[in-house]
């Protein structure tokens, strides 16, 4: 069996699912308080407005717009919520209200006094 080492990657040969994210305690508090959302596929936190603005400019490889919505649709919370759901953009509550997997959250204080939060989910698919 050949082993391959890849930096920044966690993987197993099992059929289990793992999601592991780390962020500062300040960002985590903003997420808990609903100030930012977590865009799981892009592994980043941003406000609703920042995410919408980014999505409006996202393009496929051929240069065509990825999301073809009118301004009226982008201003409709129900439409945006559906897009966010499909794109795995979640509030803290939505992330931890995971019926398919177990979730976890843990905090660690570095020797310099910085608080880091690790969170994610795990289970079998």
**CA atoms of 91 and 30, how far apart (whole Å):** 10
pLDDT at position 100 is 81
Residues 39 and 86 in one domain: yes
The count of structural domains within the chain is: 2
Residues 41 and 79 in one domain: yes
pTM: 0.81
pLDDT at position 20 is 86
Pick the residue with more confidence: 109 or 12? 109
- The domain containing residue 115 runs over which residues? 1-23+98-125
Residues 42 and 61 in one domain: yes
pLDDT at position 122 is 85
In this structure, is residue 55 part of a structural domain? yes
Residue 4 pLDDT more than 70? Answer: no
Query: Max CA-CA distance within the chain?
Result: 55
How, if at all, do strands 89-90 and 37-39 pair?
A: antiparallel
């Amino acid at each position: 069996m050949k082993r391959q080492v890849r930096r920044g990657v966690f993987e197993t040969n099992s059929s289990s699912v793992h999601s592991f994210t780390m962020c500062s305690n300040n960002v985590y508090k903003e997420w808990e308080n609903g100030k930012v959302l977590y865009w799981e596929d892009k592994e980043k936190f941003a406000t609703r407005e920042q995410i919408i603005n980014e999505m409006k400019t996202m393009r496929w490889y051929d240069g065509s717009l990825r999301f073809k919505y009118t301004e009226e649709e982008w201003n409709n919370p129900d439409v945006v919520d559906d897009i966010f759901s499909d794109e795995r953009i979640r509030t803290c509550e939505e992330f931890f209200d995971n019926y398919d997997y177990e979730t976890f959250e843990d905090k660690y204080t570095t020797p310099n006094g910085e608080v880091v939060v690790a969170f994610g989910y795990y289970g079998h698919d």
